[in-house]
A = this chain, B = another copy of it.
Amino acid sequence: MLKSIHPAPGTSVSRRLSGLAQLTDPDRALLQDATLHPQLVPTARDLIVEGQRTAGPLLVLEGWLGRTRLFRDGRRQILSFLVPGDVITETACAHPVALSTITALSDARLCPAPPPNSPGLEQAYAASAALTECYLFRQIARLGRMSAYERILDWLNEMHERLALAGVAGPDSFVMPLTQEILGDALGLTSVHVNRTLQAMRRDGILEWRGGVVRMVQAARASDPSATRGTAARIAEPAAQRARPPHRASLENSAA
């Protein structure tokens, strides 16, 4: 089914890693071989449970997974998403325990990540890890300082960018196998409010979402309020000067 969008499903990993570092043909062959014995994980199944001992690193070949944290009272937070092309590694440590539970959010296919024998692969893994950290930072900024409208927009942009890296996204669209409730759990919102915000975005004409396919209008792409500049001495600056959170498509009242 995904095939309608991405032509060669089995190679999302090598496409992504090739984009992150200079890979040789042997490197690619190694990755290709690794995909021969994929592990299937059906929707809603836990791949790794927090606190358990971890196996080696994995590659996501297909499907979406999420690092999730569950509160005792049932609240849930999705910490990050894992999509095709991603490398799943637990920070090496004397006691290698998983720091979070990883759940399949759609039927997924994974395989063990081949050990980095070459400098190319090693660099690719390193770059992938750096990106992962980058997305964590972005998630924090999103939850901490963005409105619901902005969170969804920013998240859609991030996912599109990530899926594009793996070659599984169209120029302005991608397959989105999540429910609005899951989206809410990732963005710190209720499914009801996710729904209402999506409707607002549709009304604003910046987004289409039918049958699990998201299509984003170009304008949506432009609205990134973060864009960091030197933090400088703003830490010490009086609060009075700092702007308030714009809502809606705003975002452009930003003084670049």
The yes or no answer to A232 lying at the interface (CB within 8 A) is: yes
Interface-located stretch among A31-39, A71-79, A166-174, A204-212: A71-79
Interface pair A71/B140, CB less than 8 Å apart: no
State how many residues of chain A have any CB contact under 8 Å with chain B: 82
Asked whether B69 lies within 8 Å of A141 as measured between CB atoms, the reply is: yes
Question: B144 contacts A231, CB within 8 Å?
Answer: no
Copies of this protein in the complex: 2
A225 touches B73 (CB 8 A): yes
Is A29 interfacial (CB-CB < 8 Å)? no
Given contacts A123-B94, A233-B45, contact A145 B72 (CB under 8 A): no
A72 proximity list for chain B (CB < 8 A)? 225-227, 229, 254-256
Please determine whether A254 and B71 come into contact, CB atoms closer than 8 angstroms: yes
Which of A1-9, A11-19, A99-107, A157-165 is the interface stretch?
A: A99-107
B233 with A141: CB separation less than 8 A: no
Chain B residues within an 8 Å CB radius of A49: 230-231
**Measured CA separation A49–B228 after assembly (Å):** 10
Interface status of A43 (Cβ within 8 A of chain B): yes
* Cross-chain pairs A/B with CB under 8 angstroms, 12 sampled: A43-B235, A49-B231, A69-B141, A70-B228, A70-B231, A72-B229, A73-B245, A91-B126, A92-B126, A136-B136, A140-B143, A181-B239
Q: Give chain A's interface residues, CB within 8 Å of chain B.
A: 21, 43-46, 49-51, 66-77, 79-80, 90-95, 97, 99-101, 103-105, 123, 126-127, 129-130, 133-134, 136-137, 139-141, 143-145, 181-182, 185-188, 191, 225-237, 239, 241-246, 251, 253-256
